[in-house]
């Protein structure tokens, strides 16, 4: 698939979600599982870049959360809107932290530091 054929949604997905690079090492016979595991070990070199991307996402969503909370406190007549925006950004931050933890665990596991 050429880069020109990829939709914007798929491009953003691949930019932020590292797990499309990996194969399922729990299926097939022992040789297929071993080959998938070796493939995944080779692909682990890309995970630090994804960690950096998700760290940036978390920093942005936390900044948005704090900014919207400040706006909700300052603007009493529109506080409900900013409360919802702050809550949405907070949920995004929480999701980002979960993704950071998962990527970090997978990186350590594939590096042989979690065996």
pLDDT tens digits, 42-84: 999 999 999 999 999 999 999 999 999 999 888 877 778 999 9
pLDDT tens digits, 6-53: 899 999 999 999 999 999 999 999 999 999 999 999 999 999 999 999
- The Cα 39–Cα 24 span in angstroms is 10
Q: What is the pLDDT of residue 5?
A: 79
Q: What is the pLDDT of residue 114?
A: 66
On the question of pLDDT at 106 being above 90, the answer is yes
Q: What is the mean pLDDT of residues 105-109?
A: 95
Q: Return all residues near 25 (Cβ < 8 A) that are at least 6 apart.
A: 33, 36, 37, 40
Q: What is the pLDDT of residue 30?
A: 95
- The Cα 78–Cα 69 span in angstroms is 11
- The Cα 86–Cα 46 span in angstroms is 32
Neighbours of 23 (CB within 10 A): 16
């Amino acid at each position: 698939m050429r880069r020109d054929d990829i939709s914007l949604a798929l491009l953003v997905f691949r930019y932020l979600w590292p797990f499309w690079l990996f194969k399922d090492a729990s299926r097939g016979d022992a040789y297929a599982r071993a080959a998938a595991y070796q493939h995944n070990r080779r692909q682990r070199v890309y995970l630090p870049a994804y960690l950096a991307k998700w760290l940036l996402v978390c920093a942005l969503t936390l900044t948005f959360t704090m900014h919207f909370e400040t706006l909700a406190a300052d603007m009493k007549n529109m506080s409900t809107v900013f409360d919802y925006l702050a809550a949405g950004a907070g949920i995004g931050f929480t999701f980002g932290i979960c993704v950071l933890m998962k990527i970090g665990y997978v990186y350590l596991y594939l590096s042989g530091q979690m065996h």
